Structure 1
Amino acid sequence: MARVVVLGAGAMGLAAAYHALKLGHDVTLLEAGPQPGGMAAHFDFGGLSLERYYHFVCKADRPTFELMDELGIGDRMRWVGTSMGYYVDGKLYPWGDPVSLLTFPKLSLIEKLRYGMMMFVQTKRRDWSTLENVSAKTWIERWCGATVYRKLWKPLFDLKFYEYADNVSAAWIWTRIKRVGNSRRSLFQEEMGYIDGGSDTLVRALVTEIERMGGRIELGCPADEVLSEAGRVVGVVAGGRTFAADAVISTVPTPQVARLVPSLPDEWKAKYDAIENIGVICVVFKLRRSVTPHFWVNIIDPNFEIPGIIEFSNLRPTGDTIVYVPYYMPTTQPKWSMDDAYFRQEAFGYLKRLNPAITDDDFIDMHVGRLRHAQPVCPPGFLSIIPPVETPIAGLQVADTCFYYPEDRGIAESVRFGAEMARRIA
């Protein structure tokens, strides 16, 4: 038995703690926030338990299904036929199936055929190695042409990645296309999943099982320093206390690692510091009226400074309409410092433009969440930038969502990675 301290009670930290306990280790889980779950944590939205940041499940998310079965909540998965829309220059178009593509008026017939071929081929592709050193811009232009990239992709990248927009890895984009593209009921019907009760159902089940097996979860206890002696981890200082450890699993954002582990070699600190992240300000609305019939809508319109919206109530039944309006941006952007009232007014104005029938009377409630390290920026060649999970300090493992590359952030990857880190404990 090893004394294991896990830093961060998001999905990856919870999974690591759970699997370490199953292997017979003594586990303490330290979480800086007031509740477990990380990006999957819920909040009380006027009596509705809701994720702070939207989540959905795809049919390829096997680690999630296997863990839910193991925890006895496998019957809580639900599947729904969903759809996508494209809002272009003031008009909403259906998207995501062959008929929608062929009737879309903003592309020529040749462009439509090239785009459709790209989507079909990439859902079948297995090897991503040739995409590793190519930018998404270059890759999409090769398949569809520069005009398609400019019309359909560049505005979305610009409003999510800003100065990094033209230097995002093709491998990272490919995994998103493949994951969503393979989550279908048929060629004409997309199908997404949700957990009955939301992500909190899985979080609570993990917490319950961790505590049943003797694990300890310390909330409101941010880690201050990982301690080491003679090149081996010996403990963690957090909340004025020292937690002895034979092994430490850190799942906190990589920009915090250099400060948290001062005994790391300088070249390793530089590796963590080199990984860029963008933040998100996520405005969540509760409304009396639906905005669109779609689960997600991409937006390409000069009057909008967001790349899209998620009408979450078109996936998970929530009673009133629930809409997420995410503002992704580097935290160096001046807009990041604007207050919640600013985003409430601007985002609600966008919803009114998307559906002119919406009025102030349709507004019920609003919530704003902010996260500084929401999305790692994955440039071409990113695989060579990511440090190994096992650090030069024996017993210390470090990973956050950027280590899932080329996969994107998601509960399934968090669950998979947490289990792998638990198995590495000597």
Structure 2
Amino acid sequence: MKTIAVIGAGFAGLSAAYDLACAGHKVTVYEAAPQVGGLAAGFQAEGWDWSLEKFYHHIFGSDKALLDFIKEIRADDLLFFNSPVSGQWDAQRGSIEIGGIIPLLTYPHLSVFNRLRNATGGAWLKFLAIIDRWQHLEQTTAERYIQKLMGKPAYEAMWKPVLEGKFGPYTPEVNAAWFWARIASRTFKLGYFRGGFQALGERMAEAVRQKGGTIRLNSPVQELRKIEQGWLVISNDQAIYDQVLSTTSPGLLKRMTPDLPTSYTAKLDQLKSIGAVVLTVALKQSLTNGMYWMNMDKKHFPFLALVEHTQMIDRRHYGGQHLVYLGDYLEPSHEYFQLSKEELLERFIPSLIKVNPQFKPDWVEGVWLHREAYAQPIVPVNHSQSIPALKTPLEDLWWASMSQVYPWDRGTNFAVEIGRRAAKEMLSK
């Protein structure tokens, strides 16, 4: 039996801790926040029966790693699927549905030929997933590949606003493998959990505890130090472990592990990412009148995504309120990381009126603001050559993060996958 510290009680940390504890090791999970869940953690306002994610979440029917794990810990009773309507904002029509084959084939701003070319391109990307032939895509950029595969009209109308909205100045760097993974791994049906993702996180934590693991909340780790007896973990107190798995951001791993060699920290420094800012508003009335998710054009709107959560999940679970996310991916230096929720709401209100001319500020019954500096990795051409291995150069120290799930995009499914992969490596040592 080994003593093992896991840093971070997100989905990667909890799934790794579960497997390590199942193997008979003594596992302690350190979490800086007062709750488990990481980026999938939720909050609960007065009058709500369910928690709501700080950052909008759902899963896909293809999320095998997560689906297998929740079945293993007997949490599949929490899961259900819906088929909400998703689309993009259109200046003439207000919104255009794009979440399905028929909507794509009837997309109004493309000719019949370009609609077919766009749909055929999507089918080709799905086929590449079936035969596992994506590696060549990382050798070119997404914007170049999409125009070649689906045509410039489709790129300009549908994909360019999404890429530029999400990656901003990094758009020309993003490789085509990221785009492939986004198409290949997604389904039109979306899954959610009774009680929210927080309920699933708590069930995962309970599974860890049942296997003998310990979870320490409100316990940020200040330093990881290699000593003769093992690894000294300095948090609210100090303890020595045989092995350590960190599931933190690359910047935090570097700061709290001063013994990492410069050759390795140089790789960490090369991993680019951007942050997320999400303003959640509770409204008296529906804003979108049927649309769950809308991609917004940031040339005309001050946010990238408008997600009316209660178009997918019954609002009775939230005291009858209509819940809307207004989210964006931004550099941590952006002013949105400094503005208060009241200041940000004031910036956003004109856009809410544009979406629904009947909207009035007195519809707003609650406002919550959540920010995270490390939310979306940037994946340039030939990114696979830059990803650090899960095993660090230091003995008995591993690192598993969203920066390493490539070519897949960050999300709870791939957090579970990389957490369990890291645990497997640790157990094989």
Q: TM-score, normalised by structure 1?
A: 0.93
What is the CA deviation profile of residues 66-108 of structure 1, one whole-angstrom value per residue up to 9, with x for unaligned ones? Answer: 2222222212211112221221225212223343234333222
Shift, 1:301, TM fit: 6.3
2:303 aligns to what? Answer: 306
1:22 aligns to what? Answer: 22
- Which of 204, 228, 231 does residue 234 from structure 1 map onto? 231
Counterpart Cα distance in 2 of 1:300 and 1:225:
42
- Secondary structure of residue in 2 paired with 1:357: coil
Contact 2:40/2:197, CA 8 A, preserved across alignment: yes
Q: Check if 1:109 corresponds to 2:112.
A: yes
The letter of the residue matching 2:327 is: P
2:391 aligns to what? Answer: 390
Counterpart Cα distance in 2 of 1:410 and 1:302:
27
Contact 2:305/2:325, CA 8 A, preserved across alignment: no
Counterpart Cα distance in 1 of 2:230 and 2:381:
33
1:295 aligns to what? Answer: 292
4+ runs deviating over 3 angstroms:
none
- Secondary structure of residue in 2 paired with 1:316: coil
Note the residue ranges of structure 1 that are not aligned, 5 or more in a row.
Answer: 184-189
- Which of 154, 162, 168 does residue 162 from structure 1 map onto? 168
Shift, 1:323, TM fit: 1.2
What is the CA deviation profile of residues 157-207 of structure 1, one whole-angstrom value per residue up to 9, with x for unaligned ones? Answer: 222212101211211111111122xx2xxxxxx311111111112111122
Shift, 1:371, TM fit: 0.4
Counterpart Cα distance in 2 of 1:216 and 1:249:
15
- Secondary structure of residue in 1 paired with 2:117: helix
1:251 aligns to what? Answer: 247
Shift, 1:210, TM fit: 1.9
Counterpart Cα distance in 1 of 2:362 and 2:225:
56
Q: Check if 1:63 corresponds to 2:59.
A: no
Q: Check if 1:270 corresponds to 2:266.
A: yes
- Which of 275, 292, 295 does residue 279 from structure 1 map onto? 275
Counterpart Cα distance in 1 of 2:285 and 2:27:
47
What is the CA deviation profile of residues 8-47 of structure 1, one whole-angstrom value per residue up to 9, with x for unaligned ones? Answer: 1111111111111000001111111121111111112233
1:424 aligns to what? Answer: 425
Counterpart Cα distance in 1 of 2:56 and 2:47:
17
Shift, 1:335, TM fit: 4.0
- Secondary structure of residue in 1 paired with 2:199: helix
2:158 aligns to what? Answer: 152
Distance 1:67 1:98, change over 3 A: closer
Figure out how many residues of one structure are paired with residues of the other and give that number. 416
Q: TM-score, normalised by structure 2?
A: 0.92
The letter of the residue matching 1:84 is: S
Distance 1:197 1:133, change over 3 A: same
- Which of 80, 83, 106 does residue 82 from structure 2 map onto? 80
Contact 1:255/1:275, CA 8 A, preserved across alignment: no
- Secondary structure of residue in 1 paired with 2:44: strand
Contact 2:12/2:400, CA 8 A, preserved across alignment: no
Shift, 1:413, TM fit: 1.2
- Secondary structure of residue in 1 paired with 2:212: coil
- Secondary structure of residue in 2 paired with 1:85: strand
Contact 1:283/1:347, CA 8 A, preserved across alignment: no
The letter of the residue matching 2:334 is: Q
Counterparts of 1:337-348 in structure 2, within 5 Å, are 337-348=338-349
Distance 1:265 1:368, change over 3 A: same
- Which of 211, 215, 218 does residue 216 from structure 2 map onto? 218
Distance 1:133 1:45, change over 3 A: farther
The letter of the residue matching 1:274 is: Q
- Secondary structure of residue in 2 paired with 1:45: coil
Identity %: 29
Q: Check if 1:32 corresponds to 2:32.
A: yes
Note the residue ranges of structure 2 that are not aligned, 5 or more in a row.
Answer: none
Counterparts of 1:165-204 in structure 2, within 5 Å, are 165-180=171-186, 183=187, 190-204=188-202
The letter of the residue matching 2:115 is: K
What is the CA deviation profile of residues 229-286 of structure 1, one whole-angstrom value per residue up to 9, with x for unaligned ones? Answer: 47x95221112x2221110000010111221111111010111111111111101111
Contact 1:11/1:37, CA 8 A, preserved across alignment: yes
RMSD: 1.7
Shift, 1:407, TM fit: 0.9
Counterpart Cα distance in 1 of 2:230 and 2:253:
14
What is the CA deviation profile of residues 112-152 of structure 1, one whole-angstrom value per residue up to 9, with x for unaligned ones? Answer: 12111111221222221111121110110111223332232
1:187 aligns to what? Answer: none
- Secondary structure of residue in 2 paired with 1:374: strand
Q: Check if 1:6 corresponds to 2:3.
A: no
